[in-house]
């Protein structure tokens, strides 16, 4: 582990998974612009190159100062190893604040390690709830919100949820940082990426599929139903498969001759945005992809029974198909979406009324600066 940064940085930022690298990109620049020093700690939760290293290069993010290299494992083992490693990092560097993003095991471990050492915690994407307590992510986001000192919310609706739970810590509305990242890097993605042309697909002639949550990804019957529903439409579907499920997906596709489902390796951020932006629809159980779809004006079919991003459903860009949907449900949703007239992309006004202001990273940096200033 590299330890070449000065002691007492203003911020220790903890990241470990693909969505967090995307959120980190504009925020780390905004912190530096306000003169705030930062160390970046990578837990190693996502360690495959296509799910980790590639994002730092594409998004011009400084290389992590520390990489714990925790890797995969059960929920408890992974979180426990992160806690041990992060406690040592925080004791060595003694940051003034720890910044965490989202709802992963890295988020929870970063917050708990900081709290045990008396270090204030800032949580970006505070106040989200799916109300499904079978999801590890739901427990993570609830626990982190209740121990964090600075809660950075995307919208007033998130503030209202926190207040309803009796939370009274410092809250601030900052907007959605993934929306800002897309606005910054989207043009670069379209200019640089060879997707979808490299797959011999024309714009608006295919769908995109991603599956990674245990309820869908860790059960062969569930995967089989999703893949069968896609294949039965006869419509090309591109599946950038998570490393954890790629081999099983390829087996299922080959065994059942589901030739319309094209399984490819995970993509970096720029290629994924290019592939998604030219698609006709997306099927996913990812929270981040639900948002990216609406930002790009692509209809989303979510393979879950609920979503923490309820706004995407309310404005009509997202349809919930349920956990472990049957093949017929998937097929009918794809056919229904394809048959519907393509809507215009959501307006800036709609996105701001739904996801808050667009200068999110600057607002996060300002909130951190004010908190630390008041803490002196």
Angle between helices 177-192 and 269-277 (to 10 degrees): 80
Instruction: Choose, from 93, 154, 212, 242, the residue flagged as catalytic.
Output: 212
Question: What's the token pair of residue 25?
Answer: 């990109």
Active site residue 154: no
Alpha helices in the chain (DSSP H): 18-33, 53-58, 75-93, 105-116, 136-147, 156-164, 177-192, 214-217, 220-232, 246-255, 269-277, 287-296, 310-314, 327-339, 348-355, 360-375
| Neighbour count for residue 269 (Cβ, 10 Å) | 22
Question: What's the token pair of residue 17?
Answer: 């998974």
Residue keyed to tokens 């993570």: 140
Q: How many helices (H) and strands (E) does the chain have?
A: 16, 13
Residue keyed to tokens 């229904």: 336
Report the candidate in 31, 50, 49 with the shortest Cα–Cα distance to residue 39.
Answer: 31
Q: Are 205 and 280 in contact (CB under 8 A)?
A: yes
Q: Are 267 and 195 in contact (CB under 8 A)?
A: yes
Percent composition of the chain: helix, strand, coil (DSSP 3-state, to 5) = 50, 15, 35
List residues with catalytic annotation: 212
């Amino acid at each position: 582990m590299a330890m070449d940064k000065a002691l007492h940085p203003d911020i220790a930022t903890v990241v470990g998974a693909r969505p967090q690298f995307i959120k980190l990109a504009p925020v780390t620049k905004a912190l530096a612009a306000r003169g705030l020093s930062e160390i970046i700690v990578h837990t190693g939760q996502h360690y495959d190159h296509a799910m980790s290293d590639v994002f730092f290069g594409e998004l011009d993010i400084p290389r992590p100062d520390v990489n714990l290299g925790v890797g995969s494992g059960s929920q408890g083992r992974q979180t426990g190893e992160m806690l041990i490693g992060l406690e040592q990092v925080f004791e060595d560097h003694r940051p003034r604040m720890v910044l965490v993003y989202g709802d992963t095991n890295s988020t929870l471990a970063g917050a708990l390690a900081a709290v045990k050492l008396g270090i204030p915690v800032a949580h970006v994407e505070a106040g989200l709830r799916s109300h499904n307590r079978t999801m590890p992510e739901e427990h993570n986001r609830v626990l982190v919100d209740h121990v964090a000192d600075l809660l950075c919310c995307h919208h007033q609706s998130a503030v209202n949820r926190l207040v309803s739970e009796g939370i009274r810590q410092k809250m601030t509305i900052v907007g959605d940082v993934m929306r800002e990242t897309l606005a910054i890097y989207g043009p670069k993605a379209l200019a640089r990426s060879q997707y979808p042309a490299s797959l011999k697909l024309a714009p608006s002639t295919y769908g995109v599929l991603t599956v990674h949550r245990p309820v869908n990804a860790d059960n062969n019957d569930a995967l089989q139903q999703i893949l069968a529903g896609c294949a039965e439409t006869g419509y090309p579907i591109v599946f950038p498969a998570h490393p954890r499920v790629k081999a099983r997906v390829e087996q299922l596709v080959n065994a059942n001759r589901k030739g319309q489902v094209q399984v490819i390796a995970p993509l970096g951020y720029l290629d994924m945005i290019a592939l998604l932006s030219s698609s006709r629809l997306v099927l996913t159980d990812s929270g981040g992809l639900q948002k990216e779809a609406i930002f790009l004006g692509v209809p989303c079919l979510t393979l879950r029974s609920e979503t923490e991003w309820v706004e995407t459903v309310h404005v009509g860009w997202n349809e919930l198909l349920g956990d472990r949907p049957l093949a017929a449900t998937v097929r009918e949703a794809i056919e229904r979406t394809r048959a519907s007239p393509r809507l215009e992309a959501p307006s800036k006004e709609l996105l701001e009324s739904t996801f808050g202001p667009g200068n999110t990273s600057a607002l996060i940096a300002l909130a951190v600066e004010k908190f630390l200033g008041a803490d002196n």
